[in-house]
Structure 1
Amino acid sequence: MTTALTRLEHDLLGDYEVAHEAYYGVHTARAVANFAITGTPISSHPELVVALACVKLAAARANRRLGLLNAEHCDAIVAACEEIRAGELHDHFVVDVIQGGAGTSTNMNANEVVANRGLELLGHQRGDYRHLHPLEHVNLGQSTNDVYPTAVKIGLQFAVHRLRVAMAALVTAFADKAVEFGGHLKMGRTQLQDAVPMTLGQEFGSYAVMVGEDADRLGEAVTLISEINLGGTAIGTGLNAPRGYAEAVCEELCAVTDLSLVTASNLVEATQDVGAFVQLSGVLKRTAVKLSKICNDLRLLSSGPRAGFGEINLPAVQAGSSIMPGKVNPVIPEVVNQVAFEVVGNDIAISMAAEGGQLQLNAFEPIIAHSLFESLAHLTAACDTLRTRCVVGITANVAHMRAAVEHSIGLVTALNPHIGYEAATRLAADALNSNSDIASLVLDRGLLTPSELESILRPDNLTGCVHAFGDS
């Protein structure tokens, strides 16, 4: 029965009314009713929706190659999937990101949207599954248990690529600042205590290396999520998938996605093992932790502006207080810190979900997928925001840093090889107690000649950089 507002569809539980304009069907509609959890639909992860369309498209072409699907059905499925890949129909992927059933509702949602759009392209009404069926045709030779993890892995590769692009741009921003600040001498610190001199350029250069290292680690993690179990169907035995299907669908999927995918050598293992997701989550956590550490440094180095470290100035992007006029807060590093905390929490959820799997399937892949896509999206946005709203606009307080170096007792470390540890220790204590600078005490006590002291305290000797002391 069909009305102006709904159409009647049927499943094993009986009849169910579906919104007439919906491209999804009965299975999706029941899932929407069952999983009113977060209010966040799977369309919030566009990479996953596109990846699902890639899988359905590749499966249709593989089934056509094997003589299991006629040309008309194949063409309709492919055309519908191409529209989804182009960004259309995403608002009809409505199942909640957190759902029971190991992703079955997500797979059903994809099957129904593809089928109903395919029906339209063939000149039929949505829901008239006699002509193109979500399960008989769109899902032919497949199971949620091989479709869903395969689509997740493909979508994650798309998302990782975007994150790595954002990280590369952030690396460049830090590297540019390292060059800009190359001649600015400052005190390095360990355990928040004065250590030895360095340049601000060295400090920012280290941030570039830290972010770049993790971009490389993400590239390595992608290799692990390039192994798919498509063709394994329910538990990896390949039941209901014809001979040659796994090889054919993998070839088609590689062509569709332009990714280097491989079929797992043991599909039973691959269907139940989510270790690759755990590995990727661990790398994302590592990335988040290091980004957070860098942001902690930026907040500390810019603290003040007069009663703190005050070595750098972060761009002022908004007023900082409703009660303290003139106050500006380091809000960009702070928001990146919070993204990092979220990613660490997501990693814990992923670890628990991975451990909670039982026997031949992990039922908790939806929360694993949601957490990974969320971490990737938020880290990508965080890197872009940190770069454009903070790093590129950072300036240095050169005179303040130079004065701190000249007054720091940390300079005695450079004198240690020339006057001995005991003498250097006494010198440091006396300088601290008298609030004197090291250089003046050395010359007053005749421990070194002015030329010897000048040579020892040259910036290239202190930091390994070839800039004259005091250069700005």
Structure 2
Amino acid sequence: MSDGYRIEKDTMGEMRVPESALYGASTARAVDNFPIAHEPVPAVVIHAFGRLKAACAEANLALGKLDERRAAAIVEAANEVASGEHDDHFPVDVYQTGSGTSTNMNANEVIANLANQKLGLGLGAKGAEDAVHPNDHVNDGQSSNDTFPTAMHIAAACEIHGSLIPALDRLCEALDAKAEAWDAIVKIGRTHLMDATPIRVGQVFGGYAAQARFSATRAGRALARLLENLPIGGTAVGTGINTHPEFAAKVCDSLHAATGLDFEEAANHPEAQAAKDSFVEAHGELKAIAVALSKIANDIRLLGSGPRCSIFELTLPATQPGSSIMPGKVNPVICESMMQVVCRVVGNDSAVTMAGMGGVGSLFELNVAMPVMIDAFMESVKLLANASNVFVDKLLDGLEVNEERCRELIDQSLMMVTSLAPLVGYEKSAALAKEAFASGKTIRELCLEQKVLPPEELEAALEPTSMTRPHA
């Protein structure tokens, strides 16, 4: 070693590697080749690689392809990678080789060096007798072409299961609670941004809760697509060359034991490696979730608009000053944050779709746009989960209904005339609405003045709550 570096070799020759780095020549070469985004592959994907390499070592041990001494060292090292202990040693850029080979070799080298340290052999010992070799042992029975996509499945499935679905369930529960608490409060409905017939606030928030509930279901469908099609065992082109026929099944069993998730070997390995349709479909579910969240967030910010000169049926929690020039202004910043998340997720859906497109990412026997695909996918999962939790904590928990404002707007609405149509006819009702608007009177005031109906019958017809329960 000299000047803080050591010399390591790969099949292309020597490379200078930082002396404290756990990776080797292949990783150093990739770092040199791809100074693009200066952002590494998401840490959750690296953690998934740790889980995968541990499972592969366990499978190879069970199949007699790896001795117990090396297997134990590899499993221990890989589990450290899975727990995030060595994230700083995974510097390869997202925008690298499209198969993710550089990241797979990064994992192989780090785990081999960690294993060799545990065996008392130190860094850079891959050629020594009894040492763990990154290709021959850590990568035994594997190819970057099946390990990187498998790590994609593991990372995405674990995060959807562990973060996104719980966040959406929590959002649904919070919205359900608001729907129940506010079910007796009536407000004016709106269609086409124009006044419509009354609706209970509980009905409105019950609709939002249903959207959140359906979103959790969609996340579950995305999870199912990721669990059922693991590429591991396909190796180079999906034929399974250089691997044991029982290898993939044993890897899936080990992954199940480690994660609790029911991963399944791909039914067709050429499809699992040549295409990424399951990821395109799964992210489509994420896009639908984003669309649902956009509706909830946008409605709430509009219903809270004001406070003096707009709707203001809701009071949103004041989380921060809203303006550097207008004193006392408070803005719907949590809703705005959610809307920006939606923009990013919809954009990520385009990236995932293009990365899976034939002639772009999916070419003959391999998809070659996997790193950008999983980077976009994992960002969407993270943003949707975090935004949902913040929406509950920073907005829903402190959200209030302005009941007086709701009553005021109901009384002013011309569409209260709708309940009169079965009694006096559609055309007469339309004429009343137009006259009320022109005169500045309410429907009730005009109908009483013109004695359209007996007062008791008119009062019953214009009672707002009954209009929200027409079949009660």
> How big is the shift at 1:466?
11
Per the TM alignment, residue 378 of structure 1 is displaced from its structure 2 partner at its CA by 1.1
Q: 1:248-281 CA distances to partner (integer Å, 9 max, x unpaired)?
A: 2222222222211111121111111100110111
Q: Is the 8 A contact 2:98 2:370 kept in 1?
A: no
Residue in 2 that maps onto 1:55: 52
Q: Secondary structure at the match of 2:14?
A: strand
Once the two structures are TM-superposed, the CA of residue 398 in structure 1 deviates from its matched residue by 0.8
Match of 1:444 in 2: 449
Residue of structure 2 in register with 1:91 after alignment: 88
1:3-22 residue pairs with structure 2 within 5 A? 3=2, 5-22=4-21
Deviating more after overlay: 359-368 vs 348-357 = 348-357
> What is the distance in 2 between the residues matched to 1:259 and 1:4?
46
- Trace 1:102-113 onto structure 2 (pairs within 5 A): 102-113=99-110
CA distance in 2 between counterparts of 1:250 and 1:184 reads 52
> Which whole-Å deviations, capped at 9, do the CAs of 1:186-232 have from their partners, x for residues lacking one?
11000110010011221111111111101101101211111111111
Among 228, 231, 252, which residue is 1:229 paired with?
A: 231
In 2, distance between residues paired with 1:398 and 1:101? 57
1:470 aligns with none
Partners of 1:186 and 1:266 in 2: how far apart? 55
Q: CA deviation at 1:447?
A: 2.1
Q: Shift in Å at residue 182 of structure 1?
A: 1.4
User: What is the Cα deviation at residue 242 of structure 1?
Assistant: 2.2
After TM superposition, the score normalised by the length of structure 2 is 0.95
1:341 aligns with 2:338: no
Q: Which runs of 5+ in 1 are unaligned?
A: 468-472
Equivalent pair of 2:172/2:209 in contact (CA under 8 Å):
yes
Q: Is 1:459–1:466's contact at 8 Å kept on the other side of the alignment?
A: no
What is the alpha-carbon distance in structure 1 between the residues aligned to residue 434 and residue 375 of structure 2? Answer: 57
Structure 2 match to 1:253: 255
Question: What is the CA–CA distance in structure 2 between the aligned matches of 1:177 and 1:28, rounded to whole Å?
Answer: 52
What is the CA deviation profile of residues 106-128 of structure 1, one whole-angstrom value per residue up to 9, with x for unaligned ones?
A: 11111111111111111111110
Q: 1:303 aligns with which of 299, 302, 305?
A: 305
- Which residue pairs with 2:124 in the alignment? 127
Are residues 1:360 and 2:337 paired?
no
Tell whether the 8 Å contact from 1:459 to 1:465 is kept in structure 2 after alignment. Answer: no
The code of the aligned residue for 1:245 comes to: F
Q: State the one-letter code of the partner of 2:384.
A: L
SS in 1 for 2:324: coil
- For residue 363 of structure 2, give the secondary structure of its aligned residue in structure 1: coil
Tell me which amino acid in the other structure corresponds to 2:134: P
CA distance in 2, matches of 1:101, 1:29: 17
Q: Is the 8 A contact 2:178 2:205 kept in 1?
A: yes
Equivalences for 1:274-289 in 2 at 5 Å? 274-289=276-291
Alpha-carbon distance between aligned partners in 2 of 1:296 and 1:256, rounded to the nearest angstrom: 40
Does residue 80 (structure 1) correspond to residue 77 (structure 2)? The answer is: yes
> Would the aligned equivalents of 1:177 and 1:392 in 2 still touch at CA under 8 Å?
no
1:175–1:204 CA contact under 8 A, matched in 2: yes
Aligned-partner residue type, residue 194 of structure 1: D
Distance 2:262 2:43 in 1: 21
Q: Show CA shifts across 1:356-412 (max 9, x none).
A: 121000100111000000111111111111111111111111111101101211111
Label 1:440 to 1:409 Cα distance change in 2 as closer, same or farther (>3 A). same
Give 1:176 deviation, angstroms.
1.4
Q: Is the 8 A contact 1:281 1:347 kept in 2?
A: yes
Matched, 1:412 2:417: yes
Q: What pairs with 1:415-430 in structure 2 (closer than 5 Å)?
A: 415-430=420-435
Following superposition of structure 1 onto structure 2, how do residues 28-39 of structure 1 map, counting pairs within 5 Å? 28-39=27-38
- Matches of 1:49 and 1:295, distance apart in 2: 33
Q: CA deviation at 1:465?
A: 8.9
Distance 1:276 1:202 in 2: 36
C-alpha contact (below 8 Å) 2:37/2:94 kept by paired residues: yes
What's the counterpart of residue 201 of structure 2? 200
The aligned amino acid for 2:177 is D
Give the equivalent residue in structure 2 for 1:315. Answer: 317
The whole-number CA distance in structure 2 between the counterparts of 1:250 and 1:426 is 70
> For 2:250 and 2:164, how far apart are their aligned partners in 1?
31
Percent identity between the aligned chains? 42
Tell me the CA shift for residue 457 of structure 1. Answer: 3.0
- TM-score when scaled to structure 1? 0.95
Write the distance in 2 (CA, Å) between the matches of 1:407 and 1:266.
64
Would the aligned equivalents of 1:32 and 1:96 in 2 still touch at CA under 8 Å? Answer: yes
Q: Secondary structure at the match of 1:22?
A: coil
Letter in 2 for 1:294: I
Report if the CA contact (8 A) 2:98-2:367 is conserved: no
Counterpart of 1:220? 221
| Match in the other structure for 1:209 | 210
Cα displacement string for residues 422-445 of structure 1 (whole angstroms, at most 9, x for unaligned residues): 111111111111111111222222
Aligned residues of 2:221 and 2:282 also touching (Cα < 8 A): no
Q: Residue 242 of structure 1 aligns with which residue?
A: 244
Distance 1:263 1:289 in 2: 32
Q: CA RMSD in A?
A: 1.5
Equivalent residue, structure 1, for 2:139: 139
* TM-superposition CA deviations, 1:317-345 (whole Å, max 9, x none): 11111111111111111111111101111
- Return the letter of the residue paired with 1:374: E
Q: Structure 1 counterpart of 2:108, which letter?
A: N
**One-letter amino acid of the structure 2 residue matched with residue 154 of structure 1:** I
Paired residues of 2:218 and 2:286 also in contact (CA < 8 A): no
Shift in Å, 1:4: 6.3
Equivalence for 2:326:
324
Q: Which residue identity lines up with residue 77 of structure 1 in the other structure? A: I
Q: Secondary structure at the match of 1:127?
A: coil
Could you list the structure 1 runs, at least 4 aligned residues long, displaced by more than 6 angstroms after superposition.
none
Say whether the 8 Å CA contact 1:460–1:466 is kept in structure 2.
no
| Amino acid aligned to 1:187 | I
Query: Counterpart of 1:116?
Result: 113
Distance in 1 between residues matched to 2:18 and 2:44, nearest whole Å: 26
For 1:351 and 1:420, the matched residues in 2 are separated by: 53
